Structure formats: C-alpha cells, structure tokens
Amino acid sequence: MTAKKAIAKQDTQTLNQTLPEKQNNFEKEFSSKKLFLLERDKELKQLMYAMLTGEHLFLQGEAGTGKSMLAKHAFQLIKGAKMFAIQMSEATLSEHLFGAYDMLTWKDKGVLMRDITNSLLEADFAFIDEIFDGREDVLRTLLGVLNERTFSEGRQQENANLHTAVATANYVIENEKTIPILDRFLFKALVKPIKNKANRLKMYRQHTEKAGKLTAYGIKPLMDMKQLKEFTDKLYSNHVIIEPDVLEVYDELIQEFSKEINNAKKKFISSRTANKLLDIVKASALLDNRKKVNFADLYEVKYGLCVINDDKDENTFEIVYKRCVSSLEEEKTQIKELKKIEKELKLDEDFNGIKLQPNDYVARIKGLKTSLIKLKSFTCATQKITNTKMELQGKLEKTYNDSRQKFFKEQNI
C-alpha cells in the first residue's frame, strides 16, 4: 500500500516538531533507490517500522545477499546514533557484547563489574550477524537485553540503551535454541538474491563506482536519535487513538489470519505479538500526521504479521485482508455513492403541490429511468450495501411510477 487516504489535519504542528520534514517523506527515504539497495523495499519497510516502534528485525538469507548492507545503510538515516556490530560464533563471549570486567573496581572494592563502555548496552542500534552461531549462555543474556532492555549480572543492573537490533542468519532450524530468539523479533524476512538482470547489472556498476564504501554512498541523515525516540514515545502514549470499530476489525483480521496460517504452517500468534502489532498501526497513522487510526492503516500489520518474502504468509494475509478490511472500505465508499445518488434525485421532495410543465415531467421521468437502470447494475461489496441498494431502488421505483401516473393524469392520457 502506498500513501493513505483522507489524511486528517489534526495537531500537525506538534507532530512536525518530532519529525523535521513531513512524515510521508520518512517513508520515501526507506526505499531501495534512496538507500542504494536493490529489490529490498519490503525489507526496508519492515526496518522502518522496527526503528519507529523500537522493535527488532531478523533477516534470514544466504551469505552475500546484502543483509548487513541493508541494516547499515538504513541506520545512517539517524544522525548521532551509536552503533554496535558483531559476528556471533562459539568463540563469542559475554564480554564481547556486554563489556569486559573492570579489574580496577575488583581491586578497589572487591566487586566484579563490567565496563559497558562502547558495548551493546550503550548502542542505539545493533547489527548481530549469524546470531544462531552464538553460545547458549550468551544468547540467553542477549534475549533479556533485546526484550526487557536490561542487563542483570550479580550486583550489576544496567538499563540498555538499545533501540533497534537487526540480526541475521544463513539458516533457520526451529528448535529449543532458535524459537526463543525468533520470538524476540517482531519483524522477520527472507532475503533472497536479486532476480532482475537489469538490477544485477546496476549492482555491479554501483559496486565499482562506490568501491564498496559506506561513506561513498552519501546517505543523508533524516533525523537525529532524539527525534526518533520522541516519535516512538508517542506510540506508547495516548497520542494516537484507535477507535473501537477499527479495533474490532483488527481483531477479526488477526484471528482470521491466525486460523488460516495455523492450518498451513502451525504458526501461533501470541497475545504479546498481537499487542505489539498495534504499534505498527499507530506508526502508520502518525507518519500521515494523523492522531486517529483508520482502516487503511491495518494493512501495515502485514510487515510484522508475515515473514516477508514468504509467499504462503503474504498470500494468506492478502486474502484475509481483502475479506476483513478491503470489503469494509469498499462498503463505506459505496454507501457514500448511494447517498449521493439519492440526494441528487431529490426522492424525498414532494411534487404533489407543484405544477410542472410537460417537458419537465418528461425530463424527470427519463432521468429516473436512467438512474433506475444504473442502480440495478450496481455491484454490491457487502450484504449491507445490497440492503441499502434495494431500499433506494424501492424508493426510486415508487417515485418513477408516481411521476408517470401524475404526468398521464395531467395530460389526460
């Protein structure tokens, strides 16, 4: 889905204090073209929402598919952000992520504390390559940092500054080790090799021209870290409103998707995930300078609900979305169309006391007949529209017949 419809002009001045430019521009910057990437728009859309909501993204794909490039280029959009990167292996120890022990503190006070300077705990963004290759004890600690944003070891209690992490793996085998890790990532994608030949040729030219250096791409920051955090804070306050009718449709969308995908893949959607997906919906509204969510925002749930580039996930979502949401949007549009027809026909006006000229009668009768033919061919999106159409059709037929009888009577035919 591209730009949303019917953007409400509410409190835009306050919102623009959070983002230096129009929020719609923020989404435009997260594109393959703007970030010098190819065929990565959907993955970048996920990372955009991950950064806006303070969540994490997991990328699965073969080596050399540009997973690290995707993350590092997107992180460049945020000015002043601290970054941390590491490649996990069996040799990776806790000190490589969370800092080594400070021996001076041990000597002076007899307390074993880690020096967290320049560690994952101080970073705003993290890139964790081959996360499944890490040792289980290290990963358990890492999961706490990713989820609770806290680090706890003995007497040492630290709040992690981490805003968003991107983790990668060449493979995914669901087992006792990988399932808890994947559960910490709201956003997941399969990163596939570039398919289009023209894009591959462009990639070769891009590599030779830029010499593979990040600084050579000239990616301009869009906002600073403080502004990004202010945006995220708005999502966790009452700044964006989701009204009951939208929430009811959202629940139907989640339940229907869960039912369909569970039959195909035995995929479970937890209550925690369902709650977090609402932050995507609110972010979608806020990007459009709106304080109120509309039905169109529900489409963006796809980027957290589905494993992007998994055809089964995405196809299932499209089917369910059309069933639960698109038909509802079409229903609202068609109701407006039918009300417009009724208003233009002036069916509620009483012409009994008005003497019309013969030509006026003929014109009105012809107009009513044309409208009646048009209305009968009107395709209804829902049962509610069918009922509304039949009610309007009944009124139109009555007015048409009454007008003909009055005309014939006055003309003594």
The conformation of residue 380, written as its DSSP 8-state character, comes to: P
- Per-residue pLDDT tens for 97-107? 999 998 787 76
State what percent of residues in the chain have pLDDT above 90: 47
Are 84 and 224 part of one and the same domain?
A: yes
Closest CA to 182 of 304, 57, 270, 65: 57
Q: Do residues 214 and 79 both lie within one domain?
A: yes
Does 38 or 337 have the greater pLDDT score? Answer: 38
Examine residue 272 and state whether it is found in any structural domain, yes or no.
no
The 3-state DSSP class for residue 59 equals strand
Coil, strand or helix at 46: helix
pLDDT at site 395: 83
Both 107 and 229 in one domain: the answer is yes
Question: How many Å apart are CA 197 and CA 274, to the nearest integer?
Answer: 39
| Residues 172-176: contacts with CB under 8 Å, at least 24 apart | 172/60, 172/132
C-alpha distances (whole Å) from 344 to each of 117, 248, 284, 330, 378 are: 71, 34, 36, 21, 17
Q: Which long-range contacts (CB under 8 A, 24 or more apart) does 107-115 make?
A: 111/155, 112/154, 113/155, 113/156, 114/153, 114/156
Question: pLDDT by residue (tens digit) across 74-91?
Answer: 999 999 999 999 999 999
Q: Does a structural domain hold residue 372? A: yes
Domain boundary among 225, 241, 257: 241
**Domain annotation covers residue 303:** no
Compute the average pLDDT of residues 325-334. Answer: 75
What's the pLDDT tens digit per position in 398-410?
Answer: 888 877 777 777 6
- The answer to whether residues 72 and 219 belong to one domain is yes
Give 144-195 pLDDT, tens digit per residue.
899 999 999 888 899 999 999 999 998 876 777 778 888 889 999 999 999 9
Q: Which two tokens stand for residue 194?
A: 């570039």
Mean pLDDT across the chain: 83
Q: Which residues contact 329 (CB under 8 A, 6 or more apart)?
A: 295, 296
Domain shared by 222 and 360, yes or no = no
Evaluate whether 293 touches 248 at the Cβ level (below 8 Å): no
Strand pairing class (150-153; 156-159): antiparallel
Which CATH number does the domain housing residue 110 bear? 3.40.50.300
Instruction: List the single range of 289-303, 354-368, 373-387, 394-408 with lowest mean pLDDT.
Output: 354-368
pLDDT of residue 53: 96
Q: Is the pLDDT of residue 215 over 60?
A: no
Per-residue pLDDT at 11: 34
Residue 20: predicted pLDDT: 37
**What digits encode the pLDDT tens for the residues 30-77?**
888 889 899 999 999 999 999 999 999 999 999 888 999 999 999 999
Please tell me the total count of domains within the chain.
2
Residue 170 belongs to some domain of the structure = yes
User: Is 60 exceeded by the pLDDT of residue 318?
Assistant: yes
pLDDT digits (tens, 9 = 90+) for 343-375: 777 765 555 545 556 676 677 778 888 888 888
Instruction: Point out the domain boundary residue: 180, 211, 241.
Output: 241
Question: According to the model, what pLDDT value does residue 363 have?
Answer: 79
Two tokens, residue 98 = 């969370």
C-alpha span between 257 and 269 (Å, rounded): 9
The residue type found at 271 is S
Higher pLDDT among residues 289 and 361, named by residue: 289
Q: Which tokens go with 213?
A: 């250096």
Which domain-ending residue is among 241, 260, 282?
Answer: 241
Residue 83 in any domain: the answer is yes
Q: Which domain holds residue 174?
A: 19-241
Return the percent helix, strand and coil in the chain, to nearest 5: 55, 10, 35
Q: Is the pLDDT higher at 102 or at 226?
A: 226
118 within some domain = yes
Residue 339 lies in a domain: no
Reported pTM: 0.76
Q: Is residue 146 part of a domain?
A: yes
